[in-house]
Structure 1
Amino acid sequence: MNIFIFQTRRIGDFFQSVPLIESLASADGDEAKKIDILIDESIYDIKNIFNTEINFITYESILNPLGISVKCLNKFDKFLLDLTSEYELAVNLNYDFANSLFLNFFKNQKKGFIVLNKSKKTAESISRSGPANYLFNIVKNRSLNRINITDIYSLIGSEKTAEIKTSYGIIKLKKKIESKKKRLSGEPVRICISIGATHQKRIWQSENYAKLISLLSLNLNCEIIIVGTPEESSAAEEIKQKLPDGVNIIDLTGKTNLNELIYLIKDFDLIIASDTGTLHIAQIFNVPSVSLYTGNANFYETGPHVENSYVIHSVIQCYPCMQHEPCRFNYACKNDINPEDVFNLALMQIIKNKLHYSFKEQEIKFSDVKKRVIANVKKGNFSVAVCKHLSSVHFYPLYKRKISKNDFASEILKFCWINVLSKNSLKIDKNNVLRYTNKYYKIDESLLNSLIKEINFIKGVFENASKSFNKEDKNDKYAALYFEKFKNSVKSLGLNYSYFKLACDYFIDELNLSGAQKSFNDIILLLDNAIDILKMF
């Protein structure tokens, strides 16, 4: 079977799609598979760390040797028709016009974002499968999404959630297991600190990194390596100038290419980073992490997917924001995260991963450090989430706490969404949902009853409308007017019940793209599942 995958976004996005690529490469069946992945030219060198059955290409690498330019449309069209005819499956993971247009040339099964002719009514140029439509709509509803991007990519490409592994067969490089040797030899623990990010909203202050490095150096027998791009070298110099005498680090910012960085990352004992490519590379090699999520970085969406990863994040009302929006609050979300709390989470990872032989003085208890973090969370403007696997990636608080109606609804709906986006093939383990939700959240009975009542009402709206839609002739001008009025009613539902706005936006797009029957079926299934789960509490 020949498979073509489009993943032309940044390096972090690529590594978050590795579980999908692994799944497609190792799917059941004796048939040999050929997988070609179209990636951005800037990360082309990653081809060297993957096994030979995965072939990496760029637009430049397939066109230049043939002397074909996109400007020569006749030659280009013929070339695309010849190239795409050999694939049985094509998956486009990016909302990108060029990729989506390219996907139209594939004759067989297509998944993800696909270009269609523009509609005069909607000016919509790209069609989307259900999971791709969900991905498109979470951009407008970031605070409502609870599904990790690794699972969304897998739902787009394989209609199932990601299978998270400690080692991926498609990757040549393997992490060395050296903890026992280190324990015997007294070798220092290797800690990577990635100081950069693609946006100012996600870059922690240099004085905070300096204080964190000082705490790590003072308390641990460790080797601290800071990494980053050439553009981040000046930030690394600032950090070094702020370090007290006697604290030494290895500064590799701007001194490694992508392949060299990957070789380094795979053997670190711990990584501390914001939402950046370095963090997501480390996840593929199962490196324990403490990550900082601020600004436009939503940990539910792009958080680390290794079990028991710690995320420290802001809880101010504007988090997560949109990348293009200027910050009106002087980056308050970054100021809320203190070096001492990041250090304590690093200690928790070191103890949890049995690297506590690195402590310079007395043994430190995990429970004592956790109590310190929880005490600070309760009085501060930040929180800590822990990654857990329940057949998909989920994040839960560090301790049992109260939950608002919107957050509770989003927590329940995430399980329902996975069932809907997998076309009902991934069944909900409702007892597991009940167990984990009760373990991490205090649920007020009046809140629960109110939510059941509201979702029953919303379900009734869609059920009644569904019956009317089935009777109407779509070509009738009055029916068309009715459809438009109902879309406006759905928008109003999203405003009145804010936890349901993501579902409303998804429904309206599905109505335009997939028709009434699928759209109503998806939403009614989503609501039925939610009611069934809520009634179990």
Structure 2
Amino acid sequence: MSLFKKSLLKNIILLQTRRIGDLFQTKPLIDNLLEKFNNQCNILIVVDDNFKNIQNNFNQNIKLIGKKEFYKYYYNNYIAINEIDNIALFRLNYDNHDNDNDNKVNLNYYDYNNYSKGNNNFNIGGDSDKRANKYSENNDVFFGVKKLNDNLKFDEIHFDEAINLNFYIINSLILNTIEAEHKYGFTGCGKSDKKKEIICRSKAANYFYNTVRYRNQNRINIVDIFSLIGSGKYYSKNYSFNSLKLKKLIPDLNSNKNNKSEKSQKIKSDKLRILFAPASSNPKRDWPVDEYIILARLIAQIFKSEIILLGTQKETEIANKIKNSFKLNQDNQDNQDNQNNKYNKDNNVNIGKLNANNANNINNIIDLTGRTDLNELIDIMQTGDLIISPDTGLLQIASALELDSVSIFLGNANVYETGPYFNGAYTISPTEDCYPCIEHTKCDKNYACKNNIKADDIFNLIKIKLYEKYKFDISKYVLNNNDDDYNNNNNNNYNKDNNNNNDDDEDKINYNSYSKCKRLIKEALNKKKFNVYKCDASFSISYTGFFKLKPEKNDLIAEILKYSWINLFVSDINNKISYENAAKNIKKKYLIKSIKKEKENYLNNFKKKKDDNNNSYCINNKIEKDSDHIDNNSYRINNKNYYYKIIKLIEKDFNYIKDIFKNTQKINDIEDEKTKKYELENFKNFLINFKENYFEYSLIFDYFIYEFEYILKNKSHNDNSNDNNGNNFKYIFDDIIYIIDFGLIILDNLA
């Protein structure tokens, strides 16, 4: 499949060279592109070199290529087309550096557009950590620098669309040189020795960049952001085309790496297959291994199950601890009993001894850490019933494979950013004020976020998820006499007549266990031990609370603006989210009582007091003049009307910010370019100071600031890849006013 020549099919190049989780979070974007072009397209995905071997999991019109291979291939095509020995695009040096970290690559970039116009100052910039002048000719050079030709042909290597999802210098500069009709994402267009000034971004990519600093203000999942950047659409759970080949293989998990048997053994259908991915790439995000041990024992005690331990070679130590805790011998039985007793005392949970009834279950704890390649891992995951995981690449693969999950988000893992995107997935997260933290900062609270989430909490969520997945069929996976809630003989809550059907009894007993687990989770939520979210992928990715939450002002602002931002970046008006659906989703999550009823009650109380003050109004024991009276559209807030109060405060903020941008928009009418630029610079500086008092809206202000800077760079760099014209700043004001206006409509619908 050649993607470097014009053809009848659309040719698309997508640069996603980060981790494996990011690649699978890009799947909805790929599916949207297939739908956009009715599957009449070829998509080349540039990936990390370690992931190109999973090609067989994708359909035939999607090709994966390693980034080094792509750089060389692209370079050699230029050489062949232009019949020269070397060309100067950029200079890359990977010698003695970590290839995964873009900051550690020696790089020098040359702007062929400026050079071809006779501008000798064509050095755009070098990597901020390792300057290009430290480069050695003997190092590995993918794009040469020995000869520059001002008549290079670029149009014969063609893409219809080019997309870069990574804030990497190399990818951004490549996007700048690729010949494509449309370009999206991060591109290189700035002259600087600083990375953030070399890389330009606009629209959804600009929003994505700003969310790194204002994480608590963002409610858009990275899956939606990737898709909005590259296709102008958000995630949908119903696609016409699927980029992945889903295979339901049943591998033999009892073979080892050195002595593999054919992966054809059928695993008994009366066992649940529970996958554990116990470690992430950052220890901050990892749940304590002792909790995994207790959780595995709870599962083994109650369910007929296989517990499969997954991960890389680095996770073998953790896996060994979990696996070894199940060795049934006299030497360690006493230690296990002591652990059980301690856990019982601390957490009021009955684990019990592992008896003969589930001895076979224990033998089905299978450790595959470090024993599978990515292809085998994907095959195994497709046979699972449920995965338990922190924020890992395996969790994102599970979402792409439509595997149910219960995930534990700790440390810097933010549910709203990278939570699983499979509908119905459960995620639990801490309530500490410091959560989520910054990835590379040191924790000064001794990882307090890991203390309150216990194995029995996760086990309750597992039982809830399994009940929702299998409904009343869950009983066939339950071991006899090990769970009173599932045990007909020990349950006295239901007294049946002899004529009643046993299946009905079993159904109610299963539901009783489900209800009990929900009650226990609710009690923990009321104590603020943790938060629990459920993925709702009806339109875009949302996370509703396990039980409805009382809204805080900041949270409600973020939820409302989420839909404003999404609609701003949606390219097709028919795909925009209606304000009714946006309000409906917000009400799913937050306990917003009938504001209409609050308003009516308030007005009734108001009218009763109206005549007591001789044409003045008494509200909360304050006398107000007749001119300050309250009508149906505008009235003072009673402190008891909590929900209405929040909405009116946000409405006031929205209108104030909107007025600021509407009034300042007149700057666009200034004809003198220098004066216009001067006034816009002043307004930008005003916003920088203004957001200190309105910090909840920092994403809005920084979006404006960086769009403004993007236009200036676009103008100076003559970058025609964006649809915005030259120095037209009007669209930025229009964007902000649109965001606020749509938010006001949602507020009105809530009220």
TM-score, normalising length: structure 2: 0.67
**Distance in 2 (alpha carbons) for counterparts of 1:253 and 1:148:** 29
- Residue number in structure 1 paired with 2:400: 284
Q: Aligned match of 2:208 in 135, 147, 150? A: 135
Q: Aligned match of 1:13 in 4, 19, 22? A: 22
Q: Which moved more, 1:163-172 or 1:521-530?
A: 163-172
Amino acid at match of 1:420: L
Task: Map Cα deviations across residues 120-156 of structure 1 (whole Å, 9 max, x no partner).
Answer: 9997211213011111110111111101111111101
- Residue number in structure 2 paired with 1:441: 590
Q: Which moved more, 1:118-127 or 1:457-466?
A: 118-127
Are the counterparts in 1 of residues 43 and 62 from structure 2 also a CA contact under 8 Å?
A: yes
Structure 1 residue 64 displacement after superposition:
5.5
Q: 1:86 to 1:140 in 2, by over 3 A?
A: same
- Residue number in structure 1 paired with 2:521: 373
Q: Aligned match of 2:460 in 344, 361, 366? A: 344
**Distance in 2 (alpha carbons) for counterparts of 1:457 and 1:63:** 50
- Give the aligned CA root-mean-square deviation in angstroms: 2.7
Are the counterparts in 1 of residues 304 and 478 from structure 2 also a CA contact under 8 Å?
A: yes
- Residue number in structure 1 paired with 2:540: 392
Q: Which moved more, 1:114-123 or 1:317-326?
A: 114-123
Are the counterparts in 1 of residues 47 and 65 from structure 2 also a CA contact under 8 Å?
A: yes
Are the counterparts in 1 of residues 429 and 532 from structure 2 also a CA contact under 8 Å?
A: yes
- Residue number in structure 1 paired with 2:31: 22
Amino acid at match of 2:371: K
Are the counterparts in 2 of residues 191 and 271 from structure 1 also a CA contact under 8 Å?
A: yes
Q: 1:487 to 1:236 in 2, by over 3 A?
A: same
**Distance in 1 (alpha carbons) for counterparts of 2:194 and 2:398:** 45
Residue 196 of structure 1 pairs with residue 279 of structure 2: yes
Q: Aligned match of 1:321 in 429, 433, 437? A: 437
Structure 1 residue 469 displacement after superposition:
4.0
**Distance in 1 (alpha carbons) for counterparts of 2:235 and 2:32:** 8
- Residue number in structure 2 paired with 1:519: 732
Q: Which moved more, 1:202-211 or 1:460-469?
A: 460-469
Structure 1 residue 465 displacement after superposition:
1.1
Task: Map Cα deviations across residues 358-410 of structure 1 (whole Å, 9 max, x no partner).
Answer: 12242432222111111111113310011112321111101122110000110
Q: Which moved more, 1:122-131 or 1:198-207?
A: 122-131
Structure 1 residue 281 displacement after superposition:
0.7
Matches within 5 A, 1:169-188: 169-175=242-248, 187-188=270-271
**Distance in 1 (alpha carbons) for counterparts of 2:202 and 2:248:** 36
Q: Which moved more, 1:353-362 or 1:210-219?
A: 353-362
Q: 1:124 to 1:63 in 2, by over 3 A?
A: closer
Structure 1 residue 423 displacement after superposition:
4.8
Q: 1:121 to 1:480 in 2, by over 3 A?
A: farther
- Residue number in structure 1 paired with 2:315: 232
Task: Map Cα deviations across residues 292-339 of structure 1 (whole Å, 9 max, x no partner).
Answer: 111111111111111111000112111111111111111111222111
Provide the secondary structure at the position in 1 that maps to 2:433.
Answer: coil
**Distance in 2 (alpha carbons) for counterparts of 1:228 and 1:77:** 49
Amino acid at match of 2:590: Y
Residue 401 of structure 1 pairs with residue 600 of structure 2: no
- Residue number in structure 1 paired with 2:490: none
Q: 1:384 to 1:499 in 2, by over 3 A?
A: same
Are the counterparts in 1 of residues 522 and 547 from structure 2 also a CA contact under 8 Å?
A: yes
**Distance in 2 (alpha carbons) for counterparts of 1:482 and 1:456:** 23
Provide the secondary structure at the position in 2 that maps to 1:161.
Answer: coil
- Residue number in structure 1 paired with 2:576: 427
- Residue number in structure 2 paired with 1:456: 655
Structure 1 residue 435 displacement after superposition:
2.5
Structure 1 residue 342 displacement after superposition:
0.8
**Distance in 2 (alpha carbons) for counterparts of 1:84 and 1:298:** 43
- Residue number in structure 1 paired with 2:302: 219
Q: 1:427 to 1:33 in 2, by over 3 A?
A: closer
Structure 1 residue 480 displacement after superposition:
3.9
**Distance in 2 (alpha carbons) for counterparts of 1:115 and 1:411:** 32
Provide the secondary structure at the position in 1 that maps to 2:172.
Answer: helix
Q: 1:10 to 1:84 in 2, by over 3 A?
A: farther
Q: 1:462 to 1:63 in 2, by over 3 A?
A: closer
Are the counterparts in 1 of residues 31 and 239 from structure 2 also a CA contact under 8 Å?
A: no
Provide the secondary structure at the position in 1 that maps to 2:691.
Answer: helix
Provide the secondary structure at the position in 2 that maps to 1:364.
Answer: helix
- Residue number in structure 1 paired with 2:695: 498
Amino acid at match of 1:497: Y
Q: Which moved more, 1:155-164 or 1:65-74?
A: 65-74
Structure 1 residue 438 displacement after superposition:
2.6
Structure 1 residue 454 displacement after superposition:
1.2
Q: Which moved more, 1:103-112 or 1:274-283?
A: 103-112
Residue 96 of structure 1 pairs with residue 178 of structure 2: no
Are the counterparts in 1 of residues 249 and 379 from structure 2 also a CA contact under 8 Å?
A: no
**Distance in 1 (alpha carbons) for counterparts of 2:239 and 2:665:** 45
Q: 1:390 to 1:472 in 2, by over 3 A?
A: farther
Q: 1:430 to 1:86 in 2, by over 3 A?
A: same
- Residue number in structure 1 paired with 2:412: 296
**Distance in 1 (alpha carbons) for counterparts of 2:677 and 2:247:** 58
Provide the secondary structure at the position in 2 that maps to 1:155.
Answer: helix
Q: 1:67 to 1:401 in 2, by over 3 A?
A: closer
Task: Map Cα deviations across residues 169-189 of structure 1 (whole Å, 9 max, x no partner).
Answer: 322233479xxxxxx976200
Amino acid at match of 1:216: I
Are the counterparts in 1 of residues 72 and 142 from structure 2 also a CA contact under 8 Å?
A: no
Residue 39 of structure 1 pairs with residue 47 of structure 2: yes
Q: 1:63 to 1:96 in 2, by over 3 A?
A: closer
**Distance in 1 (alpha carbons) for counterparts of 2:561 and 2:571:** 15
Provide the secondary structure at the position in 2 that maps to 1:3.
Answer: strand
Task: Map Cα deviations across residues 209-252 of structure 1 (whole Å, 9 max, x no partner).
Answer: 10111111111111100111101111112223444465441111
Q: 1:461 to 1:262 in 2, by over 3 A?
A: same
**Distance in 1 (alpha carbons) for counterparts of 2:20 and 2:148:** 28
Are the counterparts in 1 of residues 273 and 307 from structure 2 also a CA contact under 8 Å?
A: yes
TM-score, normalising length: structure 1: 0.92
Unaligned runs of 5+ in 1: 178-183
Q: Which moved more, 1:447-456 or 1:460-469?
A: 460-469
Provide the secondary structure at the position in 1 that maps to 2:227.
Answer: helix
Q: Which moved more, 1:306-315 or 1:465-474?
A: 465-474
- Residue number in structure 2 paired with 1:358: 477
Structure 1 residue 52 displacement after superposition:
1.8
Structure 1 residue 285 displacement after superposition:
1.3
**Distance in 2 (alpha carbons) for counterparts of 1:84 and 1:381:** 60
**Distance in 2 (alpha carbons) for counterparts of 1:147 and 1:123:** 22
Are the counterparts in 2 of residues 167 and 284 from structure 1 also a CA contact under 8 Å?
A: no
Q: 1:166 to 1:519 in 2, by over 3 A?
A: closer
Unaligned runs of 5+ in 2: 1-9, 77-140, 251-266, 327-335, 337-353, 481-485, 487-508, 593-642, 712-727
Q: 1:429 to 1:63 in 2, by over 3 A?
A: closer
